[in-house]
Structure 1
Amino acid sequence: MSFQHFEPSIFQFLKKLKENNNKDWFNDHKQEYEDAVRTPALAFITEMESWIKLLSPHYEAIPKKIGGSLMRVYRDVRFSKDKSPYKTNVGIQFRHEIGKDVHAPGFYLHIEPQQVFLAAGAWAPASDALKNIRDLMVAKPGPYEDAINHQPMLQHFELQGNKLTRPPKGYDKDLPLIEEIKRKDFIAVAELPESFILEPDLPERVARLLGTTQPFMRFLCEALLLRF
C-alpha cells in the first residue's frame, strides 16, 4: 500500500498495549497491530526511501517486517528487571549502509503517546568509536562547533544524552571543547507533538527536519570513517 498518513489509531493501540502488556492480549490483537502500526509504518518507510537518499546516498530506508528500518515490537528482557514482552512505542531507524549496529550514526523517528521525537546522531557508541569522535573534535574543533551550532538545526533540535562528570582519560581538562568531549552520546533530538505524525505530508516533513542535521551527521561519519 502507498503511504497516506498515520491514523490516530496508532496512539490508541499503543496506549492499550501499555495497559495490557502480555502475550495473550497481544496475540488476540495482532490484526489491530498490523492495521494500526506495522502496515502504515512499512508504507511510511517505503515512502521515505527516496527522501533518505536526498539526505545522504549512504543511508537506507528498508521496509521489511524483520531486519529493516522498523524496530521489533518484542523487547529483549534477558537482562532487564522489567519482563514486559512488548515495546509500547514505534521506533523507525534509517541506518548507514554499513551500519547494522543500532549504535552507528543514524536517523530515528520515535512514536509513542505523548512522546514523539526525531533524532540524529550516534547513541552510546562503542569505546573505539567514541574515541574517534572525541579525537576528531580535538583535531577539528571549528568544524564540530559549526556543526552543532548550525542554525537551521538549532531551530528544532537540541543535543541530548549522557555525559561524563569529569574529562575522559587522555583528554586535557583545558581543551576548548572539553564539555562536548565529555559526551557519551552524540544525539540531536527534536521533540514534536502527536499531531505531527498524523500529517499527510509526513515523509517530506521528516526529511526536511532531518536535513537540518546534515552537518552534524557528516562530522560523525567523518570521525568514524563512514561515507556521508
Structure 2
Amino acid sequence: MSTTIPKETLTFFKKLTKNNDRDWFNEHKPEFKAIEAKVKSAYNHLGQLMNTHDQIEKIKIFRIYRDVRFSKNKLPYKTHFGGSFTRKKPELRGGYYLHIQPNNESFIATGFWEPNKEDLFRIRKEFEMDDTEMRDILKNKTFSETWGGFVGDELKTAPKGFDKEHSAIDLIRRKQFIFTKKYTDKEVLDTDFLKEVDKSFKIIRPYFDYMSDVLTTNLNGESLL
C-alpha cells in the first residue's frame, strides 16, 4: 500500500492543465490510471491511519471527469484528485476531505458542507441557547493554530426567527461549518504528509464530538437515536 502521494501526480496535472482535451487525455490514459491506482492506495492508507482514532465508514475518490452539462466551464477533466472520508452514521457526524492539486493548491477540509434544513436549525438553536462550548473549542490553542476559524457560506443577516442582535449571531448566521488547511507542493510530496494530515484530522475531533452530540439529541439533550 502506498504511504505517500507520488510526485508524478502533480506533474501529470500540470500537463493536463495545458492539454485539457479528450485526445490528449486518451493518449495519456495509461499513465493516469497508474497514478490513480497509487493515489487511491495512499487515500486508503490515510483511512487506515484515521481508523485508529475514528470510525471511517466509507472512502470515496472522485472521478476525474467533470460534469459540464450545467457549467460554463466546458473543460472535460478535473486537474486535481479529491476524496472524502465518511464517518459512521448516524451517531458520528461531520466529514473529511483531501484535495491534491499542483501549484500549492492542495488542501484538507473538515466539517459540514451542506447540513440539511433540520440539522441547520438544530445547530443554530444550540448556539442560540449556549455557544460557550463551541467558543471554547475555537479558542483552543492547538485547534486554532491548526485550523483557524470557520470558512464557508453565511447569511448577511439573522436567519428567520433569530435575533440579529444575539451575541452568537456570528455563529447562528452560518450556512456551512467548515475548516480548511492548505499545503504546498513540497509538503504534499513529503514522506510524512499523510501522517501530518491524519494528525490535523485528529485535532478536529472535539468539534466533531460536540456537533455529533448536538445533532443526535433534541433541545432537552435527549437522544434521538
The question of 1:110 aligning with 2:99 is answered yes
Encode CA deviations 1:51-88: one digit per residue, 9 max, x unaligned. 2223322x2353xxxxxx21121222222121222111
Q: Give the gaps of 5 or more residues in structure 2.
A: 218-222
Q: How does 1:48-127 map to 2 (within 5 A)?
A: 48-57=46-55, 59-60=56-57, 62=59, 69-98=60-89, 105-113=94-102, 114-127=104-117
Q: Which amino acid aligns with 1:77?
A: V
The question of 1:22 aligning with 2:21 is answered yes
Q: How does 1:4-19 map to 2 (within 5 A)?
A: 4-19=3-18
Query: Which residue is 1:203 aligned to?
Result: 194
* Secondary structure of the corresponding residue to residue 155 of structure 1: helix
The answer as to whether partners of 2:50 and 2:202 remain within 8 angstroms in 1 is no
* Secondary structure of the corresponding residue to residue 198 of structure 2: helix
Q: Which amino acid aligns with 1:134?
A: R
Query: Which residue is 1:65 aligned to?
Result: none
The question of 1:179 aligning with 2:170 is answered yes
TM-score after normalising by structure 2: 0.86
Q: Distance in 2 between matches of 1:35 and 1:85?
A: 20
Q: 1:150 to 1:54 in 2, by over 3 A?
A: farther
Q: 1:223 to 1:27 in 2, by over 3 A?
A: farther
TM-score after normalising by structure 1: 0.85
The answer as to whether partners of 1:167 and 1:181 remain within 8 angstroms in 2 is yes
The question of 1:151 aligning with 2:141 is answered yes
* Secondary structure of the corresponding residue to residue 117 of structure 1: strand
* Structure 1 runs of 4+ with >6 Å offset: none
* Secondary structure of the corresponding residue to residue 109 of structure 1: strand
State the Cα distance separating 1:174 from its structure 2 match.
2.2
Q: Give the gaps of 5 or more residues in structure 1.
A: 63-68
| Percent of residue pairs identical | 30
Q: Distance in 1 between matches of 2:197 and 2:50?
A: 10
Q: Distance in 2 between matches of 1:127 and 1:78?
A: 27
* Secondary structure of the corresponding residue to residue 146 of structure 2: coil
Q: Which amino acid aligns with 1:40?
A: K
State the Cα distance separating 1:123 from its structure 2 match.
1.2
Encode CA deviations 1:148-194: one digit per residue, 9 max, x unaligned. 22221211212211121111111111222101111111111112211
Q: 1:25 to 1:204 in 2, by over 3 A?
A: same
Encode CA deviations 1:23-71: one digit per residue, 9 max, x unaligned. 22221111111223x11221112212332223322x2353xxxxxx211
**Which one has a bigger Cα radius of gyration?**
2
* Secondary structure of the corresponding residue to residue 14 of structure 2: helix
